[in-house]
Amino acid sequence: MRDEESRYEAVRSRDARFDGEFFFAVETTGIYCRPSCPAVTPKRRNVRFFATAAAAQGSGFRACRRCRPDATPGSADWNVRADAVGRAMRLIGDGVVDREGVAGLAARLGYSARQVQRQLTAELGAGPVALARAQRAHTARVLLQTTGLPVTEIAFASGFASVRQFNDTIRAVYAQTPTQLRAAAPRQGRTAAPGAGIPLRLAHRGPYHAATVFDLLEREAVAGVEELSGPPGGRTYRRTLRLPYGSGIVAVDERAGTAGRACAVHPGGWLDARLHLTDPRDLTTAVQRLRRLFDLDADPYAVDERLGADPRLAPLVAARPGLRAPGAADPEEYAVRALVGRTEAERLVRAHGKTLDAPCGGLTHLFPEPAALAEVPGPPGTLATALADGTVRLDPGADRDDAQEALLALPGLDGRTVAAIRARALGDPDVAPPGADVPDTWRPWRTYALHHLRAAEEPHVLDQRRQPPRPPAPHR
């Protein structure tokens, strides 16, 4: 939606489909909002539009306290786009600017820092520092309102270089001091300490067919690293995470549908989660990896509109509105798993995975990092070596075509395995495996179309490694 009059109509109708796709600010109040904000619609002459929250903040507007625009799902454009701006936004979301600076971001993209600054500012109205700053502010708000961490620790855990910078940013974005922002949060939602876990609401736009996502995760779960418990419709997915500064354990709830498992669709809102981190600096990265795993930044309206127009897919889309194409919590881990299958992946975890200092239920290990698997014989070791030395890059900013070419050059990886890696590890929404009956009219959502066909159990499009079913987990 590029036309400003069309955007204003979306604001007038409080259309949640566009939350995160753009933001609007009101010059008479000095605040910016998401399109679905429930406040009284401002007059058109007082409204300005921005592509990102960072651009609105950079123009001096503060976040609305009613609609929390900083908590919207991310733009689905960054899933689809393979250009430098799309790759940059995925890297910034993963926390690369906080860890490596703008120079590190530019190096990963293969551009100069000045070129990256120019491209992002021209298209989004904000450069990488401003975009990262907006993300830090959101991370800080989550920590202030959900944990008992001291304010000084939160400043550095959020990625700020100093307490003064942290205080200035929070006042500029939220028009409150950190202490006031914490005091405004409901006390029952705040945990006493980081060890108790950080409660999260992982926002998504539109319908979300949770059952198909949790079914897939249950079929693929690698013992020691992942587990699911609870009855269908109310399952909880738990897994370990290997993160830049430490490790984590996350639990994400499926939530029951209104009419049983077949209708386990969220009409819009969020998935409830709880995150345990050994180092709170990993919060931003952990959240972004969960968002990719559960495909929470997708635009189900655009996907369903395109695929629902096809006679073959129309009944499948009607049966599963908001079906998602799950990604991967750890791209390198997924690549190894796609190659070896679940049974061998479990053996690799037992033999090479790092044991958690404090195992939690069935979660006992982190999946082994590529360097730990480099000595494994055969194609798995070759793939691990290529991942470890950078011959194959699967990070959020990787060029998808380059990654596919590098993967196909390795022994033991056929076209269908590489297609699965491209769809899941690299989050490409438009992948068609070799030999699959996938017409071009399904572009740019062929990955989603295949998930519909798999959910309907059309045998010729099933995963290249159909996993045998697990016995049901005991209810907890």
Q: 365 forms bridges with which residues in the sheet?
A: 355
**Residues contacting residue 432 through CB under 8 Å, at least 6 positions apart:** 419, 438, 446, 450
Q: Is 67 a catalytic residue?
A: no
Of 227, 290, 234, residue with least CA distance to 261: 234
Q: 241 forms bridges with which residues in the sheet?
A: 248
User: Would you say 246 and 282 are in contact if contact means Cβ atoms under 8 Å apart?
Assistant: yes
List the structure tokens of 215: 């079914």
Of 243, 261, 260, 241, residue with least CA distance to 251: 241
Handedness of CA 55, 132, 367, 344 (dihedral sign): positive
Distance CA 149, CA 459 (A): 51
Catalytic residue of the set 83, 389, 402, 437: 437
Catalytic residue of the set 33, 37, 64, 67: 33
List the structure tokens of 132: 């990262």
Distance CA 342, CA 466 (A): 10
Residue type for position 450: L
* Cis amide bond preceding 444, omega within 30: yes
**Ramachandran sector of residue 457 (left: φ over 0; alpha: ψ -120 to 50; beta: rest):** left
Q: How far is CA 428 from CA 1, 313, 423, in A?
A: 22, 20, 5
Q: Which residue has the tokens 């079914």?
A: 215
User: Would you say 217 and 172 are in contact if contact means Cβ atoms under 8 Å apart?
Assistant: no
Residue 237, classed as helix, strand or coil, is strand
**Helix orientation angle between 96-109 and 128-146, rounded to the nearest 10 degrees:** 150
Q: Which residue has the tokens 């559960």?
A: 294
Q: Is 33 a catalytic residue?
A: yes
Q: End-to-end CA distance of the chain: give it in Å, rounded.
A: 45
Instruction: Please tell me what DSSP assigns to residue 60.
Output: T
Q: How far is CA 19 from CA 134, 158, 381, 393, in A?
A: 16, 24, 43, 31
Distance CA 195, CA 167 (A): 25
Distance CA 390, CA 397 (A): 13
Which are the catalytic amino acids? 33, 437
